[in-house]
Amino acid sequence: VGITDKLDSLASLGIDAIWFSPFFKSPQKDAGYDVSDYKDIDPLFGNLVDFDNLVSACRKFGIKVIVDLVPNHSSVQHELFQAALKAPEGSPERGMYIFRDGKGKNGDLPPNNWPSVFGGNAWTRITNPDGTPGQWYLHLFDSSQPDFDWTNRWVRDRFIEVLTFWLDKGIDGFRVDVAHGLAKKAGLPDFIRDDAYWQAKPEDRAENPYFGNDGVHEIYREWRALLNSYAGDRVLCAEAFVEPLTKMAQWVRPDEMMQAFIFPYLVTRWVPEKLRTVIDDSLEAFHAVGAPSTWVLSNHDQVRHATRLALDPSTMTADRITGVGPRTEPKPDRAEGLRRARGASTLMLALPGSAYLYQGEELGLPEAVDIPDADRQDPTFRRTNGEAYGRDGCRVPIPWEADKPAYGFGPSADTWLPQPAEYREYSRDLQEGTDGSTLELYRSLLRLRRDFGLGTGTFEWLAGFPVEVLAMSNNGIRVYFNMSDAPITLPEGEVLVASADVSNGVLPASAAAWLR
Ligand code: NOJ
């Protein structure tokens, strides 16, 4: 059932590993990032026996399994939070989370000014068992996601148990959610972000009291030691949303994690100079700590790159999940978005380091932009009163088979988010074996990336091209990415793969090619 049935298709794409988004027991208030039991599977997805079968099936295909660990917060339904609600102020049960007295005469103001990433403020007041208003708890995300207190050794020990539980099941590692958020600055001081803050360079900005604090590193050193005690290769991959890149690289120092998603690369819009700079800065920062750069263009939190790259670069926001929806103007052009996305992926898969793909990008899938408000699931939409669309548009079930209900995603057409009619034409079965399809492009890129050892290759920019053309070489493969709006003549060489037709020796606008 489900993913286990699709592993042959994934293996034939040429992937090495699958990162599964959270499948733990959860009330699903934030797509599973609100965990109520870290050692069980939500019945929505199956059970622990199904999981063991999935792991053995992955083994057969040589696919590694990466589990999404959510340590910054649990669900309000977690037994530890439920116990904290029933226990008195100052009790060990309350000490697992971040409870504080409110400000103001009756404690009816939040303890500080921190905002929730999803909109609104980051504190919710509880009602005591006797019905009186009580303390406030911190939630950097939705109110259904209370933050743990990571200064508490008990919390750390519970998570060592969680990591051990999954490692003992034979998994290959973890993607670590909000890996920049576990340590909060002592005293939980207010955080002022005025114009001066935003105008300063990231490295000159005042320290954020809840994201990117140094206290996180000792936690990951402990986890790394645990992973090292298991035979074979294991990975910790950080979702560390910190700037600048030299700071992010601290998450992947030799005794900490192994990978960290390069978000500044992901959020770079269609601006060639910026793309070139972020590639340079990433390679330099990660090289300095001996870690690979980890490239990514799409994930479950960001507008799919087949849509994002066609947006006007001046509408860019890097730190807010505004999304794209019916009110977005100008409307991104679907055909141009696809050309750009194919070009961008052709460049990305030539870069040294590791690369993560997001399900559906291998089909060239655009964002679902017309989801009716009533169907939206992302807490961001509700918490911002509909001002931010949130992330639903990239989470719509992907099309496998054009003529099946739900385009083959599941047994019924009734999917958790509605699929737009245009998703039919992106169906995998229509692309399989079809010359020039996005699926076949990704397959070729992944095969050649492996054949030529590009992941561990040596990167160099090639001189002599205008600024809108990114030209580079890696292990003897020359890569040209034409970000201008006019075609260019390709240099001499054998074309190994290209994101558009180059049979006449011309590289069209928005396209990329690999030459030998
Ligand atoms: C980052 C995850 O990728 C996102 O989907 C989630 O909503 C937040 N962390 C909170 O867990």
- Statement: residue 1 has pLDDT above 60: no
- CA of residue 34 to ligand 1 center, whole Å: 9
Alpha-carbon torsion 4, 8, 12, 15, what sign?
A: positive
What is the model's pLDDT at position 208? 96
**What DSSP string describes 352-408?**
SSEEE--TTGGGTPPP-----GGG---HHHHHTTTSS--SGGG-SPPPS-TTSGGGG
Per DSSP, the three-state class of 322 is coil
Query: Amino acid identity of 274?
Result: K
- Among 20, 24, 26, 30, the mutation site with the greatest number of ligand 1 atoms within 8 A of its Cβ is 30
Per DSSP, the three-state class of 204 is helix
- Among 20, 21, 33, the mutation site with the greatest number of ligand 1 atoms within 8 A of its Cβ is 33
* Ligand 1 atom closest to Cα of residue 34: 11
Here the tokens at position 286 are 């990660």
Residue 399 C-alpha from the chain's centroid = 21
Here the tokens at position 382 are 């509700």
| Per-residue pLDDT tens over the stretch 378-397 | 999 999 999 999 999 999 99
Report how far residue 429's alpha carbon sits from residue 35's, in angstroms, rounded to the nearest whole number. 35
Report how far residue 259's alpha carbon sits from residue 263's, in angstroms, rounded to the nearest whole number. 12
Burial of 121 from C-beta contacts in 10 A (0-12 / 13-18 / 19+): middle
Q: Which of 117, 111, 113 is nearest to 97 (CA)?
A: 111
Report how far residue 174's alpha carbon sits from residue 50's, in angstroms, rounded to the nearest whole number. 19
Report how far residue 206's alpha carbon sits from residue 189's, in angstroms, rounded to the nearest whole number. 12
What is the model's pLDDT at position 314? 78
Q: Decide: 74 and 148 in contact? Cβ < 8 Å.
A: yes
Mean pLDDT lowest among 4-18, 151-165, 311-325: 311-325
- CA of residue 303 to ligand 1 center, whole Å: 14
Here the tokens at position 173 are 């590692």
Report how far residue 54's alpha carbon sits from residue 362's, in angstroms, rounded to the nearest whole number. 22
Per DSSP, the three-state class of 462 is coil
Instruction: Please provide the average confidence, as pLDDT, over all residues in the chain.
Output: 96
Per DSSP, the three-state class of 296 is strand
Which of the four pLDDT bands, split at 50, 70 and 90, describes residue 202? confident
* Residue 396, CA distances (Å) to 35, 41, 177, 451 in order: 21, 22, 21, 33
- Among 144, 266, 301, 303, the mutation site with the greatest number of ligand 1 atoms within 8 A of its Cβ is 301
Instruction: Name the residue with tokens 């959270």.
Output: 22
Ligand 1 pocket residues where CB is under 6 Å: 30, 33, 70, 141, 177-178, 239, 300-301
Task: Spell out a b/e string for 344-375, using b for 16 or more CB atoms within 10 Å of the CB, else e.
Answer: bbbbbbbbbbbbbbbbbbbbbbbbbbebeeee
Beta bridge partners of 498: 513
Q: What are phi and psi of 148, to 5 degrees?
A: -75, 155
| Per-residue pLDDT tens over the stretch 85-109 | 999 999 999 999 999 999 999 999 9
Here the tokens at position 111 are 């303890």
What is the model's pLDDT at position 329? 85
Mean pLDDT lowest among 183-187, 326-330, 428-432: 326-330
Here the tokens at position 402 are 């054009």
- Statement: residue 453 has pLDDT above 50: yes
Q: Name the residue with higher pLDDT: 315 or 245.
A: 245
The pTM (predicted TM-score) of the whole model is 0.97
Q: Which strands sit side by side in the sheet containing 512-515, from one edge to the other?
A: 459-461, 469-474, 477-482, 512-515, 495-498
Q: Decide: 476 and 452 in contact? Cβ < 8 Å.
A: yes
Beta strands (DSSP E) in 37-89 are: 37-41, 64-69
Report how far residue 442's alpha carbon sits from residue 342's, in angstroms, rounded to the nearest whole number. 9
Ligand 1 atom 11, closest CA: 33
* Residue 404, CA distances (Å) to 399, 401, 411, 427, 449 in order: 9, 6, 9, 10, 33
What is the model's pLDDT at position 203? 87
Report how far residue 34's alpha carbon sits from residue 73's, in angstroms, rounded to the nearest whole number. 7
What is the model's pLDDT at position 313? 83
- CA of residue 33 to ligand 1 center, whole Å: 6
Ligand 1 atom 2, closest CA: 177
| Per-residue pLDDT tens over the stretch 114-132 | 999 999 999 999 999 999 9
What is the model's pLDDT at position 226? 98
| Per-residue pLDDT tens over the stretch 260-303 | 999 999 999 999 999 999 999 999 999 999 999 999 999 999 99
Report how far residue 263's alpha carbon sits from residue 474's, in angstroms, rounded to the nearest whole number. 22
- CA of residue 30 to ligand 1 center, whole Å: 8
Q: What are phi and psi of 28, to 5 degrees?
A: 60, 45
- Statement: residue 320 has pLDDT above 60: no
Mean pLDDT of 428-442: 98
Query: Amino acid identity of 511?
Result: A
| Per-residue pLDDT tens over the stretch 33-43 | 999 999 999 99
Per DSSP, the three-state class of 49 is helix
- CA of residue 447 to ligand 1 center, whole Å: 31
- Statement: residue 318 has pLDDT above 50: no
- Statement: residue 319 has pLDDT above 50: no
Ligand 1 atom 10, closest CA: 33
**What DSSP string describes 163-194?**
HHHHHHTT--EEEETTTT-S---TT-------
Instruction: Name the residue with tokens 């910790």.
Output: 236
